[in-house]
Structure 1
């Protein structure tokens, strides 16, 4: 939203989840203050495809609808409501990594790079033509919080670069090569379980992949459940909590006990 205004464009309407529905969403951002400062009308909804959403978009007579950060799939009536179409941003380099949990999977898969893709939405899931992409390098120390922050900055960067072209109508759309497409499934909190059969490298990747803002990696013992927010392959302090795994020990540096 800031990138749109910094590029000299404006928003005619903002649509977000009702407050009581959004409390459990990872990384939820409240847009009320931003909209109030700029006199942007806000519509709070339960589902993007609700009649009130469709009517609000039609009434605003907008050119482009940006659908960013939504887990709900927009149906054709929403996609066809704006004059020019709908634009999404997906935190992978499409067509790689279509689907959900893009940030954890990029770390778990040990990729050398990921990124964000700006694309025009169609009726598929992350299948529409690409408008622009921004790469993000990854390392063996990258964790979910770091990648989340880098992806947020990349959202701003790619939007800032492409908005002038959208405004003057010169942005080019490139169809995705479906032969290169991969799909990543959704993840549940239970998928953060560390099993003793894992290698240290696998467990370390899991800790990094599901740390804040996600629910965290964990293991269960007779003492209860321990959530690990940060770990190291080597001991860094006498207070590190040692976790025995199939090929050695993982050292938990930030953790908490759940009784």
Structure 2
């Protein structure tokens, strides 16, 4: 007998996981998604477009707690509710409409990095591994029992964008592997020990400001964590805002006495940090346009 599902989804993880459900023969009766924000850099795939290709109705309510949506899902009487990178908390009353459970795909190895933008936080904090976790939804975010998870490495020069691509594949693999058991009612429920984990909130563009007094490794992790397609790490210098789009930890020790921040040394742009080490900046943007070392020297004085 075919299982019926309502899917809350957005972003690339939403696209790939929706496609896994369809490939596994799940009857997706409704997709709940978001309207794209015109002020956001939309670099990811469209869940609504995938649903439309398959003839699946799509709604984009402002609030997942509305009475109309509740009535619509109650009328469907789904076996499962899934959430794949949907950006709002789903009310417990809605979750209870799923006869065989409600499950969320989270972009970390729970219980670590519960909460918002887990990939960016993992890169910022210098982790060497993250992944994707399918878990039961509960009243608290990312707090329900774990069904399955898949780990991926974070290499030293990976940006958050690169890691997010890996996590998207991990999410697809996790769901593909565990879905037969989930549909059959035999999937495990593993402990999600919140006391042993961590929780992080959302990040604002201002959080991308570089503090050059920090060690070079910490500055570099920030640059990697918010590099394009995210807004980018920035610094204000010479009454201008500079965005560091691409960089590496420099193997060259900058000359003693150089001020912290952006400097040009031997026709290369460096970011001098508080521990005396430097970031080798490969792409520096001013008003969205790449700046050469010569131009930086002229504008920096």
With normalisation by structure 1, the TM-score equals 0.92
Distance of 1:26 and 1:199 partners within structure 2: 32
- Stretch of structure 1 that moved more, 142-151 or 21-30: 21-30
**Per the alignment, do residues 26 and 174 of structure 1 end up closer, same or farther by CA in structure 2, a change over 3 Å counting?**
farther
**Structure 2 Cα separation of the partners of residues 182 and 95 of structure 1:** 7
3-state secondary structure, aligned to 1:65: strand
Query: Aligned residue for 1:248?
Result: 277
- The alpha-carbon distance between structure 1 residues 33 and 74, as it changes in their structure 2 partners (threshold 3 A), is closer
Matched, 1:13 2:30: yes
Give yes or no for the alignment of 1:186 onto 2:215. no
In structure 2, C-alpha distance between the alignment counterparts of 1:67 and 1:194, rounded to whole Å: 34
TM-superposition CA deviations, 1:94-147 (whole Å, max 9, x none): 111111121111112222211111001011111100000000112211211111
**d(CA) in 1 for partners of 2:79, 2:237:** 56
SS at match of 1:11: strand
Q: Is the 8 A contact 2:81 2:98 kept in 1?
A: yes
CA RMSD of aligned residues (A): 2.2
Aligned to 1:162, which of 178, 183, 206?
178
Aligned partners of 2:199, 2:47: CA distance in 1, in Å? 30
Tell which deviates more after alignment, 239-248 or 183-192.
Answer: 239-248
In the alignment, structure 1 segments of 5+ residues that lack a partner are: none
Contact 1:18 1:44 (C-alpha < 8 Å) held by counterparts: yes
**TM-score (norm: length of structure 2):** 0.79
- Worse-superposed segment, 69-78 or 117-126: 69-78
Q: Distance in 2 between matches of 1:202 and 1:26?
A: 28
Q: Which runs of 4+ in 1 moved over 4 A?
A: 25-28, 235-240
Structure 2 unmatched runs, 5+: 1-17, 253-264, 289-301
Aligned length: 258
CA–CA separation in structure 2 for the residues paired with 1:23 and 1:50: 25
Q: Deviations over 1:180-219 (max 9, x none)?
A: 1211232111111111202211111111011123211011
